[in-house]
A and B are shown apart, each in its own frame.
Chain A
Amino acid sequence: MTVNGLAVPGPARREEPNEPVLEVRGLCVDYGLGRDAVRAVNDADLVLRRGEVLGIAGESGSGKSTLAYALTRLLRAPGVITGGDVLFHSRGADGQTTTVDLLAADVHQLRQYRWSEIAVVFQSAMHALNPVARVEDQLTDVLRVHRPEMSREERRARAVEMLRMVGINADRLRSYPHELSGGMRQRVMIAMALILQPQIVIMDEPTTALDVVTQREILEELMTLRDRLGFAVIFITHDLSLLIELADSIAIMYAGRIVERAKASELFHAPRHPYSLGLLSSFPSLHGERVRMEGIPGSPPSLAAMPAGCTFHPRCPYVMDLCRTEEPPLARPLSEGGGRVTACWLQDGRHDPPEPLARAVPLVSSVADADDLSRSTS
């Protein structure tokens, strides 16, 4: 598979992965300028493939939202992108792929891609929707701006179709946002994001404020739509347990850095970074014995006062002397193949990682592990 002549290397793959639609290389984002600047995202690398759900997880302040907003250059002042590339491989209607560096694009180019190719769904639908405009007008306005060739009736028909796809009755078209429940508002937001059939949808905690049942319904609908329309999703959340169910691959962020990137099932069954392990053990399980969990001690560092070496070392239970001084690179653990990378000295091949960080990667995602993964009778 080639993208504009660039051969996608992939020696170890068993099946053809989809081509990348968004590539982020070495992205750095600062807040403020000069001496006051703090680094919020440091050297982030990501690849989003067509039709894939890429999850970004981390605590608040880890830079996960900053990263996503920087990609679309929607980050507000005093945010400044200080390095890296964001390559968007846009596939046109004719099937041709053109590559755009979003960081070099001017405001007109960005306007051309935003929303129509890269849409964003925010956490608070109430704030993102215009409170004094009807749902119908908000949906058709998007079309009027980006698809001027459509007639009024076509726009309306498209709005109705979109709402139906996200599970809202057409009789809600005349409603104002405040007349809708939280779940419905978030569905309208998703409908608005998808109405131009973008190639990428960035979702920033889209269901955090919703009840679990509503959240599950919306995510189900989103996945169905993804299968149908083929867009890729960047899903940002603090809820790692949800992300593991939802995402294809996951990037874990800590203090502005990506510390581990792996397939969701690999991450769940065999985390390689102590922070990933800590996050995973911060979510009580619905099954098995009840055991006391300790989570991660301490709290994340302030961006203005980053610890030297590995930024996680003050909280890390497996800290070594090396960690206090040298920052580990994001690299493939030497002990294994596969597409995962982690930034931890324990995985550099010279150290023996402790058992929780050296679990075998399951061969198939639905492996009958010896762990307490027995399904409940729900």
Chain B
Amino acid sequence: MTGTTEPTEPTEPTGAAGDPGDTELSQPARSAGSVGPAELSADAEPSDVVHGPRRPGVPALEARGLVKHFPIHSGIGRTLLVHAVENISIALPAGTVTAVVGESGSGKSTLARLLTGLIKPTAGEVLLDGVPVGTGAKARRKYTSSVHLVLQDPFSSLNSVHTVRYHLERPLKLHSKLGRAERAQRMRELLERVSLTPAENYLDKYPHELSGGQRQRVAIARGLAVEPRVLLADEPVSMLDVSIRLGVLNLLDDLRSGENLATMYVTHDIASARYLADCIVVMYAGQVVESGPATQITDSPTHPYTQLLLSAAPDPARAETPVLGGRGAPPSLINPPPGCRFHPRCPFAMRVCATTTPAPRPVGEDHVSACWLHASGLTEDQREPLVATAEAVPVPVSAAAAGDLPDDGSQA
């Protein structure tokens, strides 16, 4: 575990005052005090769990307790808050790929933009090489030279009025003191780095003269121009043709080892996350519901939402049609459901899920899951199934076994 966060800004995500059932459940929260001091307190303060791959040393980029609430104006004088990202701590060590997986509206893109500094977090802080990022122009300059973002649509992330040369030269002019000849040399190296060879053929091309995969490579090359420490890739392959996707994923894979980059790969495609990433972080409705080593997440998911994502993902090797556990759509983030945000869809929902946000609990080595199914010592009352849907509630398969997992077993 990389670090702990002081509970400087207690953020209470479930602030809805008039929620029915809120009062009903103050009881179980107290009664759980017998279980252990750390057990149920997690929803009142930023949790200690830092998601992301475990590596010794200081991670290249770390976010602590990031919260983002977007104000939106509706009508006269009424301001609503979109709870886009809630209390996420994530560490991106150098030489690793962290995949952030979720549906649209899960807050995964907001998280990426928070990490670029393009938008300011409501709470929490971002540390570059262990040092909090300042707000001044100089700090911003250093930050922009170290952290780069690759966007989803290669057709709009390059300006159609500028050549490849312009796109590559700007970051060099902004962040390096290279002379003209050195810049030209560097640009050639960059294009070769992303397999656009010979570089001379591409330097004076306009974006519309390149294919989608080539554009995405130029976008990545631009990101690498000033030798960043961190690459944030927001759905970098979802707009590309299938045969080109692997090429770009393999490029990110090469950059992980070759440039020792800390990469965050934001995607909705859990199969590609499994292919590329060291660690998968699953987000739902602004919160991290599960994180852990990539193959472990896909081979033995412990959170019902991760299970749902996996059963919905296309899988030609599947023999029989999958049964979706949890239909419906993600909740509104303006008025998110209290407790676990997944509970209205969850087939295993219990009474405690509707009232108290589950803290991430270790369920395996470096594997955490924010689900009450894995909490020990819940009362019978709390465990009572929440019969919200007409469908029969399936029996949670792993609940009994995983729920009794020793708390201190793998947290060292």
**Do A and B interact directly, with beta carbons closer than 8 Å?**
yes
A285: chain B residues at CB < 8 Å are: 271, 274-275, 315, 317
Q: Which of A268, A290, A294 contacts B250 (CB 8 A)?
A: A294
A278: chain B residues at CB < 8 Å are: 243
| Contact present for A212 and B313 (CB under 8 Å) | yes
Q: A216's closest neighbor in chain B, by CB?
A: B312
Q: Which of A32-40, A98-106, A339-347, A369-377 contacts B (4 or more CB under 8 A)?
A: A369-377
Q: Which of B245, B274, B315 contacts A290 (CB 8 A)?
A: B274
| Contact present for A245 and B324 (CB under 8 Å) | no
B310: chain A residues at CB < 8 Å are: 286, 376, 378
| Contact present for B315 and A286 (CB under 8 Å) | yes
| Contact present for A183 and B329 (CB under 8 Å) | yes
A280: chain B residues at CB < 8 Å are: 316
B309: chain A residues at CB < 8 Å are: 212-213
Docked complex Cα distance between A280 and B314 (Å): 12
Determine whether A238 belongs to the interface, using a CB cutoff of 8 Å to chain B. yes
* Given A284-B275, A373-B317, 14 other A-B residues pairs in contact with their CB atoms under 8 A: A59-B243, A212-B269, A212-B314, A239-B314, A245-B318, A282-B243, A284-B274, A286-B270, A290-B275, A295-B243, A295-B244, A295-B247, A299-B241, A299-B243
Interface size on B, residues (CB 8 A): 49
Docked complex Cα distance between A267 and B311 (Å): 22
Interface residues of B (CB under 8 A from A): 103-104, 211, 213, 241-247, 249-250, 253, 268-272, 274-276, 294-295, 298-301, 307-322, 324, 326-327, 329, 397
Q: A289's closest neighbor in chain B, by CB?
A: B295
| Contact present for B246 and A293 (CB under 8 Å) | yes
| Contact present for B246 and A294 (CB under 8 Å) | yes
**CB of B320 to closest CB in A, whole Å:** 8
**CB of B412 to closest CB in A, whole Å:** 27
| Contact present for B319 and A213 (CB under 8 Å) | no
**CB of B313 to closest CB in A, whole Å:** 6
Interface size on A, residues (CB 8 A): 46
Determine whether A200 belongs to the interface, using a CB cutoff of 8 Å to chain B. no
A377: chain B residues at CB < 8 Å are: 299-300, 397
**CB of A261 to closest CB in B, whole Å:** 17
A371: chain B residues at CB < 8 Å are: 317
| Contact present for A238 and B295 (CB under 8 Å) | no
| Contact present for A286 and B312 (CB under 8 Å) | no
Docked complex Cα distance between A134 and B326 (Å): 29
Docked complex Cα distance between A215 and B301 (Å): 21
Query: Which residues 127-163 of A sit at the B interface, judged by CB distance below 8 A?
Result: none
Q: With A213-B103, A293-B246 in contact, do A241 and B241 touch (Cβ < 8 Å)? A: no
Can you pick out 28 interface pairs between chain A and chain B where the beta carbons lie within 8 Å of each other? Answer: A59-B243, A60-B241, A212-B314, A213-B312, A213-B324, A216-B322, A217-B327, A239-B242, A241-B314, A242-B314, A245-B315, A278-B243, A280-B316, A283-B316, A284-B275, A285-B315, A286-B270, A286-B310, A286-B313, A292-B250, A293-B246, A295-B247, A373-B317, A375-B317, A375-B318, A376-B310, A378-B310, A378-B311
